[in-house]
Chain A
Amino acid sequence: MEGTRMDSLTPPPPGSLAPPPPVRKIVVGAEPTRVAPPPPGDGSHATAPSPAPFTGPVRRARPSAAQRVERMGLEGVTIAYAGKPAVREVSMPVRNGEVLALIGPSGCGKTSLLRSLNRLTELTPGAARTGRILLDGRDVDALEVTALRRRVSMVFQQPNPFPMSVFDNVAYALREQGGNRPGREALRPLVAEALRRSGLLAEVADDLGRPALSLSGGQQQRLCIARALAARPEVLLLDEPCSALDPKSTATIEELILKLRDEVAIVIVTHNMQQAFRIADHVGFMYLGELVEYGAADRVFGAPREQRTREYVSGAFG
């Protein structure tokens, strides 16, 4: 889709409702796909159909913010590695029922920020964090860390099932909670439920005892999502979950994320602006450790307030 890049365009003036960036065409099952409207004033970009409203399988932001509850809050979060700041003074909310996408060029601090939400940054030697991160109004530093991570779970860039069966992978987070170890039969419905929510159940139901590492890459990543969902977290963190996957698996996982956002607050870090455009309700654009712009996805993509955001979403750098 090189022909639809907007590199040559001058950014639209702030405030005007500019068209969204071009979207890579994806196919999900038999559903119709839509390609983003072409940029105006450039007749040579003839590959895309006429402009359309933000609906359909490609662009599915929430129309209203009515049912959204703030789950997490970041207040002046700064993260430094060995004294070098990677994230500076970031404040923003994480809401239930929506997808928050963190975008920005490599090294902008978006993954560091994501990892700070369940205190995984603490595992990095030399990392330090200031500012407050709240989960349902309570400071995450005051929570027991394993309890926090059950409530704020995470899926990683590389699919990383554990070397055990599909069943045991999903049951992993459910086991060894407290002294009484739940039996296999007691776990079975919970495991099936998590696999159903991650859209994997139909594919693996016939043999839950198979080794998880024998699944395909896309299935492995959905298994990792099922594993993260098993303990019924309130927030799901996704660190570039599709970057190691092929386009079809990516489309499947994006569908899944859109289904899950009703049940769990989702924060996704992505390099892929088209992906953020397809699935995000809110977007935070980070650059050199700063949160340059935060807002509804429509607005950030359509009418960015900051020059840097405008340049990034139009593909001028990154």
Chain B
Amino acid sequence: MSIRATEARGSSEAWPLADRIGLRLAWAAGILLCAVVAAIVLYVLVRGLAELRPSLLFERPLDTPDQSHGGGFLDPLAGTVLVTMIGTVIAVPLGVAAAVWVTEYGRPPGLARAVESAIEVIAGTPSIVLALFGLFFFSQGIFGFLSFTSEGGGVFGRSFLIAGAMLSLIALPLVFGATREALNAVPAHVREASYALGKTRAATIRRILLPASRPGIATGTALGMGRIAGDTAIIVILLGLLRFDGAGAGVPVLDTLRGTGSTLTSYTYANSPAGEGGAEAKAWAAAFVLLVLVVALNWLVDWIGRRWKAPAWTR
């Protein structure tokens, strides 16, 4: 004879009316959310797949604001990858270092609290505000090496390096928060076990705490990359809409980094009916590619969470 699985049996018939209504509303909220997400994803999928052609991925945008006569989004695709890399390379060491300092040293306590508050403020600041400040800040003369400079010594203040630096601020709170959580999850006796073997605080951080926090750091990094790839305000203000335009000093990589360009977000904006590109089909295709990239990053986060288990100690 087979054993029947135990199931919760019963009904809400005996519940008060208010509870029954509440249950239905909660159920409806869940369904509504699913419907909204399905609508967005399906519509982008259908429109994007309908408009996407392989040539779009390999052709550069036209050198005019109007994109309706040809051109693809090779530059924006490369730009998304490039700013994500720059932002991540800046945000991860900064975020991890700040989190290590706050959790493992944190003296004086007032300074540690100030650091945490500062990061919360960054997390809450709209990216358009960061962008505007970045444009002002990096137009100062001493930052001339980061972007175009005009003949008269004026600094342009827009480039991949500058956009990447400001975008790193968007990823920083996610990296910081995930690292701090992971460090706090390591019980005190594990640190003490390392000290009790004659290890210094620095050796303990390097050999025990950072390896134990790796799943958390990786998750925060992937989330931060998703945020950078999806940001538009900083890109529009600090980078551009269409083609890469290297700062012509003749040094291949550095020219690109100091020059302007675009990402899939700004390209989508430029070609949407709200922009001047006049090629809505390409906006949908670019939006589809962007969505695939960001969803892939979210899958990566899930995968990291399942694959790299944080060590399980008893408190």
Same assembly: yes
A residues adjacent to B (C-beta < 8 A): 118, 120, 123, 146-150, 153-154, 156-160, 162-164, 172-173, 176, 213, 224, 227-228, 231, 237, 244
Query: Is B192 within 8 A of A227, CB to CB?
Result: no
Q: How far is the CA of A168 from the CA of B38 in the complex (A)?
A: 49
Quick check: is B187 within 8 A (CB to CB) of the other chain?
yes
Quick check: is B203 within 8 A (CB to CB) of the other chain?
yes
Q: How far is the CA of A118 from the CA of B197 in the complex (A)?
A: 10
Quick check: is B24 within 8 A (CB to CB) of the other chain?
no
- Give per-residue flags for B202-213: 1 if the beta carbon is below 8 A from chain A beta carbons, else 0: 010001100110
Task: State the Cβ distance, B137 to closest chain A Cβ, in Å.
Answer: 39
The 7 tightest CB contacts between A and B, nearest first, are A150-B198, A154-B196, A163-B311, A173-B197, A149-B198, A146-B198, A158-B314
How many residues belonging to B are interface residues under a CB distance threshold of 8 Å?
A: 22
- Show 10 A/B contacts (Cβ-Cβ < 8 Å), sorted by A: A120-B192, A146-B198, A154-B193, A156-B192, A158-B313, A160-B187, A162-B193, A163-B212, A172-B197, A213-B311
Quick check: is B195 within 8 A (CB to CB) of the other chain?
yes
Quick check: is B194 within 8 A (CB to CB) of the other chain?
yes
Query: Is A231 within 8 A of B192, CB to CB?
Result: no
Given contacts A153-B197, A162-B212, 8 further A-B contacts (CB under 8 A): A118-B196, A120-B192, A123-B195, A149-B195, A160-B313, A176-B199, A237-B196, A244-B314
Quick check: is B306 within 8 A (CB to CB) of the other chain?
no
- Give per-residue flags for B272-315: 1 if the beta carbon is below 8 A from chain A beta carbons, else 0: 00000000000000000000000000000000000000011111
Query: Is A158 within 8 A of B192, CB to CB?
Result: no
Quick check: is B189 within 8 A (CB to CB) of the other chain?
yes
Quick check: is B190 within 8 A (CB to CB) of the other chain?
yes
Contacts of A123 in B (CB 8 A): 192, 195
Quick check: is B200 within 8 A (CB to CB) of the other chain?
yes
Contacts of B194 in A (CB 8 A): 162, 172
Q: How far is the CA of A227 from the CA of B190 in the complex (A)?
A: 13
Contacts of A231 in B (CB 8 A): 197-198
Task: State the Cβ distance, A223 to closest chain B Cβ, in Å.
Answer: 11
Contacts of B311 in A (CB 8 A): 163, 213
Task: State the Cβ distance, B182 to closest chain A Cβ, in Å.
Answer: 12
Residue of A nearest to B206 (CB): A176
Contacts of A164 in B (CB 8 A): 211
Query: Is B196 within 8 A of A120, CB to CB?
Result: yes
Residue of A nearest to B199 (CB): A146
Contacts of B189 in A (CB 8 A): 156-158, 160
Q: How far is the CA of A244 from the CA of B189 in the complex (A)?
A: 14
- A154, A162, A173, A237, most chain B CB atoms within 10 A: A162
Residue of B nearest to A118 (CB): B196
Known: A176-B203, A213-B312, A244-B314. A160 touches B197 (CB 8 A): no
Q: How far is the CA of A30 from the CA of B199 in the complex (A)?
A: 40
Q: How far is the CA of A88 from the CA of B203 in the complex (A)?
A: 34
Q: How far is the CA of A129 from the CA of B142 in the complex (A)?
A: 53
Residue of B nearest to A162 (CB): B208
Query: Is A158 within 8 A of B196, CB to CB?
Result: no
Choose from A157, A160, A172 the contact partner of B207 (Cβ within 8 Å): A172
Residue of B nearest to A172 (CB): B197
Known: A213-B311, A244-B314. A160 touches B196 (CB 8 A): no
Task: State the Cβ distance, A149 to closest chain B Cβ, in Å.
Answer: 4
Task: State the Cβ distance, A209 to closest chain B Cβ, in Å.
Answer: 16
Interface residues of B in 173-194 (CB under 8 A from A): 187, 189-190, 192-194
Contacts of A213 in B (CB 8 A): 311-312
Residue of B nearest to A148 (CB): B198
Residue of A nearest to B200 (CB): A146
Query: Is A160 within 8 A of B200, CB to CB?
Result: no
Contacts of B187 in A (CB 8 A): 158, 160
Task: State the Cβ distance, B76 to closest chain A Cβ, in Å.
Answer: 41
Contacts of A149 in B (CB 8 A): 195-198
Known: A158-B314, A160-B189, A160-B190. A153 touches B212 (CB 8 A): no
Task: State the Cβ distance, A244 to closest chain B Cβ, in Å.
Answer: 6
Contacts of B198 in A (CB 8 A): 146-150, 153, 173, 231
Residue of B nearest to A173 (CB): B197
- Give per-residue flags for B74-106: 1 if the beta carbon is below 8 A from chain A beta carbons, else 0: 000000000000000000000000000000000
Query: Is B197 within 8 A of A227, CB to CB?
Result: yes
